[in-house]
Amino acid sequence: MKKDFNHIHEERERIDPKNYRFGIFYFNKKDSRAVVPKWQRARGWTLNFANPLAYLLILAIVAIIVSFMILA
């Protein structure tokens, strides 16, 4: 099975330690994904903080939590 070049490139970028701020925040302007697998896939997913959509996702989650707190 032949893998797509972009997929291979994204995987190399994802595991490159230079793309992590303080070792935990993924920040890569070359990667167009807002949500990416963590460096170790078994640990889940993380946000690409170079993508503006990541900040919208955080804002949406906070808004949902605050609205439930207000309504409760």
Round to whole Å and give the CA distance between 46 and 23: 12
The count of domains in the chain is 1
DSSP H/E element including 26: strand 25-26
Domain extent, residue 39, equals: 5-71
Round to whole Å and give the CA distance between 71 and 66: 9
Residue type, 71: L
Of the candidates 11, 19, 14, 51, the residue with the CA atom closest to the CA atom of residue 34? 51
Task: Give, for all 72 residues of the chain, the pLDDT tens digit.
Answer: 445 546 677 777 778 889 999 988 999 998 888 999 887 778 899 999 999 999 999 999 999 999 999 997
CB atoms within 10 A of CB 21: 11
pTM: 0.75
